[in-house]
Amino acid sequence: MIDKHLLKLRRRDLISPEEEVAIRAGVSSIIKAKADTVIARHGATLDVSTILLSGIAARQIEMLDGRRQMTELHVAGDFLDLHSFTLKHLDHDLVALSDCTLALVPHAHLQEITEKYPHLTRVYWFNTNLDACIHRQWVVSLARRSALARMAHLFCELYIRLDIVGLVRGGTYDLPLTQDELAETLGLTSVHVNRTLQELRRTGYVNFDRKVVSVCDFAALKEVGEFDDAYLYLDRLPEFR
Amino acid sequence: MIDKHLLKLRRRDLISPEEEVAIRAGVSSIIKAKADTVIARHGATLDVSTILLSGIAARQIEMLDGRRQMTELHVAGDFLDLHSFTLKHLDHDLVALSDCTLALVPHAHLQEITEKYPHLTRVYWFNTNLDACIHRQWVVSLARRSALARMAHLFCELYIRLDIVGLVRGGTYDLPLTQDELAETLGLTSVHVNRTLQELRRTGYVNFDRKVVSVCDFAALKEVGEFDDAYLYLDRLPEFR
DNA sequence: CGAGGGGTTGATGGTTGTCAAGGGCTGTGG
DNA sequence: CCACAGCCCTTGACAACCATCAACCCCTCG
């Protein structure tokens, strides 16, 4: 069930069999969420955190006038709201962009982990810090990169993150978002997203059609988006080997 | 020395005398950093984290063409790079925007804390998550808010954060940034920052002159920036009382 | 067959960036 | 005490990027 979650963790650190047991034991139940539904609303008090097992989900913040802005996209294997363990209520909404499968992990269990498994605690702390790294790159994208570069950067980010959990096949991955939702993640309008997608297609480096991203030239795409994967910490930390 | 740091922590949680001792014992040395110098460079391996005791510092990411973007501003009491404890090297630079005083906390000591003080570990974990909350608001600002609203939002954010550590007096606080640096934090050009500052001044709600921010009408300023302080988690968590 | 959601296109406009020049303050050295 | 350098701030003219508005198309599903 949570194999992709373990794949993600093990990409950055060693997880002992004992720790794996503790993680698996923490899942209290598996539930489904339909596309375009809210998984958790901002402000609501939470006593469980959620691992995304399949589908695409997002964190979003709604403005007074109803416009919405995504602050992160989530792929299978991600903890959607591990930060709710320490925050207790979220500062943003959690939405399912496609049909999703979710594993629930009670905070009581996470508390046990912090008390019994200091190393695993650091691993999870690391993972919330990794979210912050992704946020920082989004800040840079939104502040300084053109629509074209910003979109290229996002496609690169998702390529790497999905590849880690085995969801890239032949340079291709599913991205079940409408152009409207893509606009809400890139800080653009859907009209401009449409035009930028066409421009990216014209380069021949990447194509987004029928909710599938096809990367034809990853190296060139990285260059367009000024993408450097260092911020995703793909190598296991030598300190923890 | 680290009184402001404790003020910040205690604004959100109870810190026992024993925990306070552990925190104080963790500081290995106090050092100074001159204005406009780099405190830590991205990629460098770190074995200490840094608490800002006085001054203003920032996290910044440099682009290939040399343009820089701040991803967060830091005030006295903040851990500048608590996340380096789990990341081991940073994905961004740390720079002093004014003369700064810094307290160094070796990672070895933080490791001890994670092993002996589960509650304090959660408190620090919470603090890195709080950074992520701030990042998310910056994402929303950069993606959706006008230059005017973005600037108003930043002035509100700093007002609250500085007030927590007692650095707001009569609606006024020091912000030792040039307009160029303000542009680098707001994702604007210095020319446009200049014009936006004039526009904000014309409203009469806030003024920024000689590196001092004077807030005359905080309520009105919040409205301009669509600022809601909920994301700063100012109330102590009832769970921990 | 009709409705509705999503995608596409064209025309136009506004916000912000770029380029360039000048002004004012502050510190320093003659 | 004055001259000057250098940094920062300010202003104007112009351009670019992206938003807005509006219409139309296509596909799917009831």
List the end-to-end C-alpha distance of chain A, in Å, as a whole number.
26
Tens digit of each residue's pLDDT (9 = 90 or more) over B128-168: 999 999 999 999 999 999 999 999 999 999 999 999 999 99
pLDDT in the model for residue A1: 82
Distance in Å, alpha carbon of B87 to nearest chain A alpha carbon: 6
Asked if residue B38 lies in contact with residue B95, where contact means CB atoms within 8 angstroms, the answer is: yes
pLDDT band at B238 (very low <50, low <70, confident <90, very high): low
Which residues, 6+ apart, have CB-to-CB distance to B173 below 8 Å? Answer: B158, B159, B162, B167, B212, B213
| Chain D bases closer than 7 angstroms to a protein Cβ | 7-13, 17-22
pLDDT band at B55 (very low <50, low <70, confident <90, very high): very high
Helix (H, G, I), strand (E, B) or coil at B192: helix
Tokens standing for B127? Answer: 């603090």
* pLDDT at position A34 over 50: yes
Q: Kind and range of the H or E element at B173?
A: strand B172-174
Of B85, B87, B131, the CB nearest to A233: B87
Rounded Cα–Cα distance for residues A158 and B36 (Å): 35
pLDDT in the model for residue B235: 82
pLDDT band at A235 (very low <50, low <70, confident <90, very high): confident
Asked if residue B120 lies in contact with residue B22, where contact means CB atoms within 8 angstroms, the answer is: yes
Asked if residue A77 lies in contact with residue A130, where contact means CB atoms within 8 angstroms, the answer is: no
In total, chain A counts a number of residues equal to 241
Q: Which nucleotide is nearest to B180 (CA to C1')?
A: D8
Asked if residue B2 lies in contact with residue B8, where contact means CB atoms within 8 angstroms, the answer is: no
Tens digit of each residue's pLDDT (9 = 90 or more) over B203-237: 999 999 999 999 999 999 999 999 999 999 998 65
Asked if residue A72 lies in contact with residue A137, where contact means CB atoms within 8 angstroms, the answer is: no
Tokens standing for B236? Answer: 């102590």
pLDDT in the model for residue A236: 66
pLDDT in the model for residue B170: 93
Of B85, B131, B187, the CB nearest to A132: B131
Burial B126-142 (b: 16+ CB within 10 A, else e): bbbbbbbbbbbbbbbbb
Tens digit of each residue's pLDDT (9 = 90 or more) over A146-200: 999 999 999 999 999 999 999 999 999 999 999 999 999 999 999 999 999 999 9
Residues of B in Cβ contact (< 8 Å) with A226: 63-64
pLDDT over 90 for what percent of chain B? Answer: 95
Which of residues 162 to 191 on B have a Cβ less than 7 angstroms from any strand D atom? 178-180, 190-191
pLDDT band at B240 (very low <50, low <70, confident <90, very high): very low
| Chain C bases closer than 7 angstroms to a protein Cβ | 5-11, 15-20
pLDDT over 70 for what percent of chain A? Answer: 98
Burial A190-201 (b: 16+ CB within 10 A, else e): eeebeebbeebe
Which of residues 76 to 95 on A have a Cβ less than 7 angstroms from any strand D atom? none
pLDDT in the model for residue A50: 98
Rounded Cα–Cα distance for residues B24 and B19 (Å): 9
Query: How far, CA to CA in Å, does A38 sit from each of A69, A85, A87, B125?
Result: 14, 19, 19, 26
* pLDDT at position A68 over 60: yes
pLDDT in the model for residue A240: 44
Cβ burial of A235 (10 Å; 0-12, 13-18, 19+) is exposed
Phi/psi of residue B67, nearest 5 degrees: -65, 150
Tens digit of each residue's pLDDT (9 = 90 or more) over B10-26: 999 999 999 999 999 99
Tokens standing for B76? Answer: 């006295």
Tokens standing for B109? Answer: 């000591």
Tokens standing for B157? Answer: 């954010």
**Which residue type is seen at A18?**
E
Asked if residue B225 lies in contact with residue B1, where contact means CB atoms within 8 angstroms, the answer is: no
Query: How far, CA to CA in Å, does A209 sit from each of A149, A202, B30?
Result: 19, 13, 56
Residues of A in Cβ contact (< 8 Å) with B81: none
pLDDT band at A98 (very low <50, low <70, confident <90, very high): very high
- CA-wise closest residue to B152 among B220, B234, B58: B220
- CA-wise closest residue to B124 among A118, A165, A80: A118
Asked if residue A129 lies in contact with residue A178, where contact means CB atoms within 8 angstroms, the answer is: no
Distance in Å, alpha carbon of B69 to nearest chain A alpha carbon: 6
Mean pLDDT of chain B: 95
Asked if residue A88 lies in contact with residue B239, where contact means CB atoms within 8 angstroms, the answer is: yes
Of A91, A118, A142, the CB nearest to B142: A142
Distance in Å, alpha carbon of B195 to nearest chain A alpha carbon: 18
Distance in Å, alpha carbon of A168 to nearest chain B alpha carbon: 25
Which residues, 6+ apart, have CB-to-CB distance to B163 below 8 Å? Answer: none
pLDDT in the model for residue A241: 38
Beta carbons of B129 and A83 less than 8 Å apart? yes
Phi/psi of residue A238, nearest 5 degrees: -60, -30
Asked if residue A100 lies in contact with residue A57, where contact means CB atoms within 8 angstroms, the answer is: yes
Q: Which nucleotide is nearest to A190 (CA to C1')?
A: C7
* pLDDT at position B104 over 90: yes
**CA-to-C1' span, A213 to C3 (A):** 30
Mutate one of A80, A86, A184, A188 to test the B interface: name it (highest B CB count within 10 A).
Answer: A86
